[in-house]
């Protein structure tokens, strides 16, 4: 018999996220790094909590697979140890913090976004985009969150698609450079360029220097939507988590400029959370589309077939979809300029 339990799981979804978010906020998982075990009494003392909240937090975190019970205490699960300890290569806490502080409250007004078709996290009447803000802390949170999500996604893409056949990568809207950093660590012969807004390039150069890759990854300050042409001299162009920010005409125009910037035989890689062709899922892609309603003017998530059609119309050939599993994308649509 059908029952409403699946609906209750949806209701409780926000409870799970907020449990994760408060654990990150407290530094719970970082304190448990390296196999340390923490009892309820220790948690209460270290975080300044009464016993009951400390007990509930540890139990709830264990129920979500973030902690494991060890005797009278709790320790990090493998998931938390790898992704929720600050300083680890694929630390995901920045994405958790950004979502908690920036997007969750606007989501409470999702009905307004549906009725008005206007973003909720910024004002189109006074700002040019979500990146047009006088709040440097918010921008820093955003780029840290994107770097967090992009680093592991880049590793998954590198496992799924062989970049070794390319020598020069252009990462359009590359943010802080997570993708080129991951690729260049794996491929000693690869050189890369990050194209993004001037203040973003500053952030990218910092991350690139921290990775010891200043000599191999450069930056070009520009606006990939407004500039008449993209930088040349590259044999592969990456658009990762970019096209879902914009409407179809904007995306088609950008793909045409990518085609013009590539040499014959050059490749384009569109890395996204792809909808299926029926536009019925997967949930990660469809719900990210709803998030685009909250955060952009014209963005949505598209299917691999839609991207393939646009690429073909732009003059690309040999279009194919490469699936993989990552937090920022579930596949890449790849094509070649003849």
User: Which tens digit of pLDDT belongs to each residue from 97-112?
Assistant: 999 998 999 999 999 9
* 123, HSE (Cβ side, Cα atoms, 13 Å): 4
Percent of the chain at pLDDT > 90 equals 90
Give one word for 70, left, alpha or beta, with left for phi > 0 and alpha for psi -120 to 50: beta
Q: Are 53 and 181 in a shared domain?
A: no
Decide: 247 and 299 in contact? Cβ < 8 Å. Answer: yes
CATH of the domain at 20: 1.10.10.10
CB atoms within 10 A of CB 149: 22
Q: Are 226 and 321 in a shared domain?
A: yes
Q: Are 27 and 145 in a shared domain?
A: no
Q: Which of 34, 65, 83 is the last residue of a domain?
A: 83
pLDDT given at position 130: 64
Q: Are 21 and 103 in a shared domain?
A: no
Give one word for 268, left, alpha or beta, with left for phi > 0 and alpha for psi -120 to 50: beta
Q: CA-CA distance, 265 to 281, in Å (whole number)?
A: 33
pLDDT given at position 129: 67
- Residue-wise pLDDT for 38-76, tens only, equals 999 999 999 999 999 999 999 999 999 999 999 999 999
Q: Is the pLDDT of residue 185 over 60?
A: yes
The number of folded domains in the chain is 2
Full-model pTM: 0.94
Give one word for 194, left, alpha or beta, with left for phi > 0 and alpha for psi -120 to 50: beta
Q: How confident is the model at residue 113 (pLDDT cuts 50, 70, 90)?
A: very high
Q: Print the domain residue range for 254.
A: 93-336
The residue assigned the tokens 């920010």 is 245
- Residue-wise pLDDT for 260-290, tens only, equals 999 999 999 999 999 999 999 999 999 999 9
Q: What is the DSSP letter of 86?
A: T
Tokens read off for 177 = 């450079």
Instruction: Give the mean pLDDT of the chain.
Output: 95
The residue among 18 and 139 whose pLDDT is bigger is 18
Q: Are 19 and 136 in a shared domain?
A: no
Q: Which of 31, 60, 83 is the last residue of a domain?
A: 83
pLDDT given at position 144: 83
Active site residues: 244
């Amino acid at each position: 018999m059908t029952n409403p339990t699946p609906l209750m799981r949806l209701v409780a979804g926000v409870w799970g996220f907020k449990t994760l978010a408060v654990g990150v906020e407290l530094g719970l998982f970082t304190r448990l790094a390296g196999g340390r075990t923490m009892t309820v009494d220790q948690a209460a003392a270290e975080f300044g909590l009464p016993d009951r909240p400390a007990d509930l937090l540890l139990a709830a975190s264990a129920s979500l697979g973030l902690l494991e019970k060890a005797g009278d205490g709790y320790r990090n699960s493998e998931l938390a140890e790898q992704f929720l300890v600050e300083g680890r290569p694929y630390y995901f806490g920045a994405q958790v913090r950004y979502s908690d502080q920036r997007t969750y409250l606007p989501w409470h007004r999702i009905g307004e976004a549906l009725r008005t078709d206007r973003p909720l996290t910024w004002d189109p009447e006074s700002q040019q985009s979500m990146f047009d803000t006088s709040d440097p802390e918010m921008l820093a949170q955003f780029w840290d969150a994107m770097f967090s999500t992009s680093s592991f996604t880049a590793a998954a893409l590198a496992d799924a698609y062989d970049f070794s056949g390319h020598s020069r990568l252009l990462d359009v809207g590359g943010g802080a450079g997570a993708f080129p950093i991951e690729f260049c660590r794996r491929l000693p012969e690869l050189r890369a360029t990050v194209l993004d807004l001037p203040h973003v390039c500053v952030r990218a150069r910092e991350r690139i220097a921290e990775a010891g890759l200043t000599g191999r990854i450069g930056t070009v300050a520009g606006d990939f939507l407004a500039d008449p042409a993209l930088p040349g001299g590259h044999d592969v162009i990456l658009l990762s988590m970019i096209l879902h920010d914009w409407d179809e005409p904007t995306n088609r125009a950008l793909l045409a400029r990518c085609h013009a910037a590539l040499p014959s035989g050059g490749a384009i890689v569109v890395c996204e959370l792809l909808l299926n062709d029926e536009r019925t899922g997967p949930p990660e892609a469809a719900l990210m589309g709803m998030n685009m309603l909250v955060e952009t003017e014209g963005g949505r998530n598209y299917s691999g077939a839609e991207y393939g059609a646009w690429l073909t119309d732009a003059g690309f050939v040999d279009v194919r979809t490469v699936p993989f599993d990552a937090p920022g994308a579930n596949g890449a649509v790849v094509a070649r300029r003849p």
